[in-house]
Chain A
Amino acid sequence: MAIVAPPSRFSKYGRPVLAWAVGLLFFFPIFWMILTSFKSDADAVKPEYLFVFQPTLENYLNMTENYDYWRFAKNSVITAVSATIFTLFVGIPCAYAMAFNPSKATKDVLMWMLSTKMLPAAAVLYPMTFLTKSLGLFDTHFLVIMVLSLINLPIVVWMLFTYFKEIPKDIIEAGQMDGVNTWGEFKEILVPLAWGGIVSTALLCFIFCWNEAYWTVRLTTTEAATLSKLIEGNRAPEGLFFGRLSAVSAAAVGPIVVLGWFCQKQLVQGLTFGAVK
């Protein structure tokens, strides 16, 4: 019989308190942002209106009427969804090949793919801007989708590779004996077995795409500008428009927070790499 030690005082009271403290710490900026978004720009900077103020929807109405929120939101959806689909479309076969037909170079290829993430983005800012402008791709959906796909591809391949690796080789070989072709192997065995992993990879990729700001801000102006750009555009150095900025930010992160909330189980499972059992 296993002997279970009685829970210590720390694990009984300390842990929940600690967990809540950390949780609130992370949540506080978001709470603050939402709170501020209901203040007028004038109220937002006044300390006496910290918690008690006249709530207003003015910022939100202003946003949809004057700043074309929906266009930015539409661009965010189009680019994030397309980039996620495209990344999976390329990443799944890639991870599949490396997981099931590894060669001596597989480890190096994986490392190399990951190493591209180590390059500071700022280092290629000028070449990128110059190139995209001269190719006529600046401020196009196509460009944003490609950029989002390429910066997320290494992580997506790496994650999928890890999930595929967890599938026992015997099962794949049993499939081969049973007469599946490559497509059948994919559809009947691989995808069902790695489904949890694929979904969480897709979710994470989508979140990264949605939140990406460095390139989307710099490589777009109006046509393909995403919500990141909208926030950026409302940032005034003097800090006079805190209410407006908060509303824009809240409206930009809102959808992704809601999505994350509904998929948290899937995400946690995926990130702890316990999806394939």
Chain B
Amino acid sequence: MGRIVLDKVSKKFGDVEVIPPLDLTIEDGEFAVFVGPSGCGKSTLLRMIAGLEDLTSGDIEIDGENVTQVPPSKRGLAMVFQSYALYPHMSVRKNIAFPLRMEGMPQAEIDKKVEAAAESLNLNDYLERKPAALSGGQRQRVAIGRAIVRNPSGFLFDEPLSNLDAALRVGMRLEISEMHERMQTTMIYVTHDQVEAMTMADKIVVLRAGVIEQVGSPLDLYRAPRNKFVAGFIGSPKMNFIEGEEAAKHGAHTIGVRPEHIEVSASSGAWKGVVSVSEHLGSDSFFHVHDTGLAETITVRAGGEVGFRHGDTIHLTPRDDVIHKFDSSGLRFE
């Protein structure tokens, strides 16, 4: 169980309204990801759900029960912090056992649960170590272990992978996704890495300055972003925005074309420009094209075998069926 409903919740720090009143429902078993630029209030919102931050107004319900005034430990949620927040004076075993011991569970049962959690997270060899003697990835596993032993009705993650190196991040991302598949427990995951958001989420919540810009599945957001902000935020590399004459041809104030929706050619195409930077990743090539007369830079994604270099003239043709049209206020229309 773990259906979380936010009803007109808002948050002020002093006079600064960080989160204006906001409604959001996260269904039981859903993997929801909060994304948005730095400082937009993702952590604040998560901490409000956790109970670590008071609400200025509004209510939070978990499984139909109003928990607005309920302290963090009584909400049945577990949290994994960016800094891991392990207890430095306790061994891994004691760290994982801590929430169970606080519940007053009999020692024999605690041992069994800790062993099981350690088993599933590959921590058996480290149980007697202190956190200081663990690598970042191992610490993160311990933090996750400490969260899962309690059998919470929901997990809250605040950028849990941002302190890990790229390879480890991909591995842990998969592990967390697998954990979600296996447990089918509600998870709320904060990140500003849009790849994490796209790959893990059932539902992405895009925030800007405390306001929800759009809620939807990753592909919904990719295919039908509600406005320019979401269009620019979801997808990597970023969508190209073109204004002026070219946009007017499509009857829009601004048009958006994703880099992967542009064909490249050496000889002919709708647009023409000069390659300023080419990035060859092997599987893909990215070209940053200047002097198109459309926008400062147009970014294009092509196959790894395409070999334009700096200074080459390049012809570009957008795929007509996936051009996004925006009105003057930035809203997308069909």
Which residues of A approach B to under 8 Å, CB–CB?
Answer: 168, 170-171, 173-180, 184, 188-189, 192-193, 277
CB distance from B136 to the nearest CB of A (A): 15
A192 & B79 in contact (Cβ 8 Å cutoff): no
Is residue B87 within 8 Å, beta carbon to beta carbon, of the partner chain? Answer: yes
B168 within 8 A of partner (CB): no
User: Distance (Å) between the CB of B43 and the closest chain A CB?
Assistant: 11
**Interface size of B by Cβ–Cβ distance < 8 Å?**
23
Residues of B within 8 A of A277 (CB): 88
Q: Which residues of B contact A174 (CB under 8 A)?
A: 79, 81, 85-87, 146
Find out whether the CB atom of B52 lies under 8 angstroms from the CB atom of A184.
Answer: no
Residues in B neighbouring A189, C-beta threshold 8 A:
87
* Interface set, chain B 41-89, CB cutoff 8 A to A: 50-52, 71-74, 77-79, 81, 83, 85-89
Q: Is B50 in contact with A179, judged by CB distance below 8 angstroms?
A: no
Contact B103 A177 (CB under 8 A): no
Q: Give residues of chain B (119-165) contacting chain A, Cβ–Cβ below 8 Å.
A: 146, 150
Q: How far is the CA of A168 from the CA of B71 in the complex (A)?
A: 20
Q: Mark B180-209, 1 if CB is under 8 A from A, else 0.
A: 000000000000000000000000000000
Max chain B Cβ within 10 angstroms of own Cβ: one of A173, A174, A176 = A174
Contact of A177 among B72, B86, B88, B89 (CB under 8 A): B72
- Interchain residue pairs with CB less than 8 A apart (27): A170-B81, A170-B83, A171-B87, A173-B52, A173-B79, A173-B81, A173-B85, A174-B81, A174-B85, A174-B86, A174-B87, A174-B146, A176-B52, A176-B72, A176-B73, A177-B50, A177-B77, A177-B99, A178-B98, A178-B99, A178-B102, A179-B73, A179-B99, A179-B103, A180-B73, A188-B87, A188-B98
Beyond A177-B77, A179-B73, is A168–B85 a contact (Cβ under 8 Å)? yes
* Minimum-distance CB pairs A-B, first 8: A179-B73, A170-B85, A178-B99, A174-B85, A179-B102, A192-B89, A176-B72, A177-B79
Chain B residues in the interface with A (C-beta under 8 A) = 50-52, 71-74, 77-79, 81, 83, 85-89, 98-99, 102-103, 146, 150
Q: How far is the CB of A64 from chain B (nearest CB, A)?
A: 46
Q: Tell me if A176 and B102 are in contact (CB < 8 A).
A: no
Complex Cα–Cα for A176 and B86 (A): 13
Residues of B within 8 A of A192 (CB): 89
Closest to B152 in A: A177
The residue in chain A whose Cβ has the minimal distance to the Cβ of B102 is A179
Min distance, Cβ B334 to any Cβ of chain A, angstroms:
45
Task: Chain A residues near B77: list those with CB within 8 A.
Answer: 177
Which residue of B73, B74, B85, B99 is within 8 Å of A171 (Cβ)?
B85
| Residues in chain B near residue A170, CB distance under 8 A | 81, 83, 85
A42 to B88, CA, bound (A): 62
Q: How far, in whole Å, are A32 and B1 apart by their CA atoms in the complex?
A: 77
A12 to B198 Cα, complex, angstroms: 61
> Which of chain B's residues has its CB closest to A169's CB?
B85
What's the Cα separation between A176 and B88 when bound, in Å?
Answer: 16
* A176 touching B71 in the complex, CB below 8 Å, given contacts A189-B87, A193-B88: yes
Q: Do the beta carbons of A177 and B73 come within 8 Å of each other?
A: yes
**Inter-subunit contact B102/A177 (CB<8 Å):** no
Complex: how many Å from CA A184 to CA B81?
Answer: 20
For A180, give the chain B residue with the smallest CB separation: B102
Query: What is the CA–CA distance of A42 and B311 in the complex, to the nearest angstrom?
Result: 102
CB distance from B5 to the nearest CB of A (A): 20
Whether A177 lies near B87 (C-beta < 8 A) is: no
Chain A nearest CB: distance from B166 CB in Å? 24
How far apart sit A193 and B131, CA to CA, in the bound complex (Å)?
14
Pick from A170, A176, A179 the residue with the most CB of B within 10 Å. A179
Alpha-carbon gap, A192 to B130, bound state (A): 14
Q: Which residues of A sit under 8 angstroms from B79, Cβ to Cβ?
A: 173-174, 177
**Partner pick for A168 among B51, B73, B83, B103, CB 8 A cutoff:** B83
Docked CA distance A192–B146 (Å): 19
Q: In whole Å, how far is A119's beta carbon from the nearest beta carbon of chain B?
A: 34
Nearest chain-A residue to B89 (Cβ)? A192
Task: List the B residue with the shortest CB-CB distance to A276.
Answer: B88
Complex-state Cα separation, A178 to B103, whole angstroms = 9
Q: Which chain A residue lies CB-closest to B82?
A: A170
Known: A173-B81, A189-B87. 14 other contacts (CB 8 A): A170-B85, A171-B86, A173-B85, A174-B146, A176-B71, A176-B72, A177-B50, A177-B78, A177-B79, A178-B98, A178-B99, A178-B150, A179-B99, A179-B102
A171 → B minimal CB distance (Å): 5
Most buried by B among A173, A178, A192, A277: A178
* A273 CB, nearest partner CB in chain B, Å: 17
Q: How far is the CB of A186 from chain B (nearest CB, A)?
A: 13
In the complex, what's the smallest C-beta–C-beta distance from B225 to chain A, in angstroms? 34
Select the residue from B51, B102, B146 with max chain A CB neighbours within 10 A: B102
Determine how close the nearest CB of chain A comes to the CB of B192; give it in whole angstroms.
Answer: 19
- Complex-state Cα separation, A174 to B88, whole angstroms: 12
In the assembled complex, the CB of A95 is this many whole angstroms from the nearest CB of chain B, namely 19
